[in-house]
Amino acid sequence: MKSNARELTISILKFNPHNSNSRPTMVDYKIKERPGMSLFLALSTIREKLDHDLAFDFVCRAGICGSCGMLVNGKPQLACKTQTKDYKNGKITLMPMPAFEIIKDLSVDTGKWMNGMSKRVGSWIHTSESTDIGKVERRIDPEVAYDTFELDRCIECGICVASCATKIMRPDFVGAVGLNRVVRFSIDPYDERTDSDFYEVIGDDNGIFGCMSLMGCEDHCPKDIPLQHKIAYMRRKMVDQRNT
């Protein structure tokens, strides 16, 4: 029986920086589309049937782990949340996300960058209090708790970094994900750092003042975190620190 499934043409950048003979090359793969096919399933089909050497990252396949970020027709997205049916001409071009070290093909090392960012901004509670697990935690206002949990929804997928023009031009820019972490701890009542302390971390052009407010980070964030609102909030606080 003849299949009515349309044919997809998926062009993928193939490159292994660890192989001196490898050169960046675009390779076209043609596969039959299946109902409800995500880009992750399309890539899995390609690796299973056409190219066992193809490298890309995935873990949860549910938009939670943030592993499968890549450029899809020039736009940073999660492969597991991207539907092939949304590309009406059936042509999709895939490239690794910029701003990160390429491991191979579509696989990039976001973990190395995120670890450095986390250390740079001190992405943990800074407190002089000792923890007594035998006592009930100090209560905090529900609205403050909500604001904190809202920012904790970040999955560190790197999409906001890959979509940031400042990051592309300024390699040491901390990025929206780093600024988001600073805001998260600045509003946490358990954290004892002051605005002056945070200014020492992000009070320059590689921090809060490097953001050009182009909104690429918020426009592409797969978790719809209000990055621009929170970055603007922190910029106002840092301006006050600079003017004191």
88 and 149 inside one domain:
no
Total-model pTM: 0.90
With pLDDT > 70 as the criterion, what percentage of the chain qualifies?
99
What is d(CA 161, CA 172) in angstroms, rounded to the nearest whole number? 11
11 and 59 inside one domain:
yes
As a whole number, the mean pLDDT across the chain is 94
- Which domain CATH number covers 152? 1.10.1060.10
74 and 143 inside one domain:
no
203 and 235 inside one domain:
yes
The answer to whether residue 1 sits within a structural domain is no
236 and 152 inside one domain:
yes
**Is the separation of the CB atoms in 45 and 31 below 8 Å?**
yes
Residues 143-174: tens digit of each pLDDT: 999 999 999 999 999 999 999 999 989 999 99
62 and 158 inside one domain:
no
Q: How many domains does the chain have?
A: 2
- Which domain CATH number covers 41? 3.10.20.30
In the DSSP assignment, the letter for residue 38 is B
Range of the domain at 172: 110-127+139-242
Residue 121's φ and ψ, nearest 5 degrees, are: -95, 0
Residue 34 pLDDT exceeds 70: yes
What is d(CA 37, CA 23) in angstroms, rounded to the nearest whole number? 30
Indicate if the alpha-carbon torsion angle 12, 13, 18, 23 is positive or negative.
positive
Residues 60-100: tens digit of each pLDDT: 988 999 999 999 999 999 999 999 999 999 999 999 999 99
pLDDT at residue 3, rounded to an integer: 62
pLDDT at residue 137, rounded to an integer: 81
The answer to whether residue 103 sits within a structural domain is no
